[in-house]
Amino acid sequence: MLLARYPTDNWWPSRSRFEVMVGAVLVQNTRWVNVHRAIAALRARRLLQPEALAATPVDHVGEVIRPAGCQSVKAARLAHLAAGVAQAGGLRRLARHSTHDLRALLRSWHGVGEETADAILLYGFGRPVFIADKYARRWLARMGLFDAGSGAGAYARCRRHVETNLPWSPGEFQALHAAIVLHGQQHCGPQARCQDCCVGDFCSFINNSL
């Protein structure tokens, strides 16, 4: 029902696997409109390849990605990302890792948290991964489908629960992530706006409040 309600095509437009990885770092704590501007600036300077990015001074990268905000932090993270790809033997060799091993490798890189790693796995490497971000955990809990609780471990608990119960394809997980984010932005945010919610008939939160 959620998938039928929201347009989820082209949710993460990108021209390459590395562009997805860069975008996953740039989108931390900012909006996509800012990320698109930073990506365009990197592309204009031919910096959307790991080798070119790794060879560029971090200060300069920071200036280029300024539209995405927190440019010093993100430029340092992009430098680690590019170095990590090189140390792993390149993108093709990275793609040969199992999802479990690739997640562990990505998580070992500076600035790559659980959500960033899973976004890279899902959209960059086409792995069947559920992004258990704040939108997803809130929505699942309110629906009465799964309450992962809070604190350390909540993300992983939620991701594992959904992946165990939904043996979906990468494309389906991509669409589900997009639909959940859109639903969170339009209805199921910190303050729930339940009127006209497309899944209200099945939601514990609203039915328990009536």
Q: Which residues bind ligand SF4 (CB under 6 A)?
A: 139, 142-143, 187-188, 192-194, 197, 199-200, 203, 205-206
Q: Which is nearer to ligand SF4, 27 or 192 (CB)?
A: 192
Q: How many helices (H) and strands (E) does the chain have?
A: 13, 0
Among 178, 183, 186, 134, CA closest to 159: 134
Q: What is the longest distance spanned by two Cα atoms in the chain?
A: 60
Q: Which is nearer to ligand SF4, 127 or 177 (CB)?
A: 177
CB of 194 to ligand SF4, least distance (A): 3
CB of 125 to ligand SF4, least distance (A): 30
Six-digit token string for 54: 């790794």
Q: How far apart are CA 21 and CA 78, in angstroms?
A: 9
Q: Which is nearer to ligand SF4, 21 or 179 (CB)?
A: 179
CB of 132 to ligand SF4, least distance (A): 16
CB of 14 to ligand SF4, least distance (A): 29
Among 59, 83, 84, CA closest to 72: 59
**CB distance 48 to 42 below 8 Å:** yes
Q: Which is nearer to ligand SF4, 142 or 159 (CB)?
A: 142
